[in-house]
Amino acid sequence: MQLATAFGGSVTGVCSARGMETVRALEANTVIDYTKEDFTQNGERYDLILDVAANRSVSEYRRTLKPGGTCVVIGFSTIRHMLSAGFSAKRDGKKIAILAANNKDGNDLRFLNSLIEGGKVKPVIDSRYTLCEAAEAIRHVEGNHPIGKVVITMG
């Protein structure tokens, strides 16, 4: 979301009511509470969808994309959703893709680091745990829907 904003994109954030303040603070142009409104049913169409919850079907993604649009999915709630995205990659000019890293020379990470150092991108940290508390951190992620990243420190 912050990268899209940094590059001048108009951003719609979809989250629960608990995350709305954080998403607004990250400069989303529009914020949708998914418990009150289904962004795939509201008639809006998007050039790009970056889905980190991954609990939608491929047909829902396609319906919500503009012609030529792309949906990138970072994780999946079920294997069925993952397989349907993998086997339905491009049709009718719309693309559904699974995020995979390919940063052989490190340039992307250096660029991202420059955005962080310049204050254009700010890491959002929900909570921190020590390595000894890793099991507790995993339980927190599984049960609490953290707002931001859960960090485990080494040492």
Residue 129 pLDDT: 97
Domain total for the chain? 2
Q: pTM of the predicted model, to two decimals?
A: 0.72
Q: Are residues 28 and 79 in the same domain?
A: yes
Residue 134 pLDDT: 95
CA angle 2/13/72 to nearest 5° reads 75
Residue 90 phi, psi dihedral angles, 5° rounding: -140, 130
CA–CA distance, 29 with 54 (Å, rounded to integer)? 22
Residue 128, beta-bridge partner list: 151
Report the length, in residues, of the chain: 155
Mean pLDDT in residue range 43-69:
86
Instruction: Using the 3D structure, point to which of 81, 98, 115 is the last residue of a domain.
Output: 98
Q: Is the pLDDT of residue 37 over 90?
A: yes
Q: Are residues 15 and 79 in the same domain?
A: yes
- 64-91 pLDDT per residue, tens: 999 989 888 776 556 665 565 554 556 6
Q: Which domain holds residue 13?
A: 2-98
Q: Are residues 91 and 132 in the same domain?
A: no
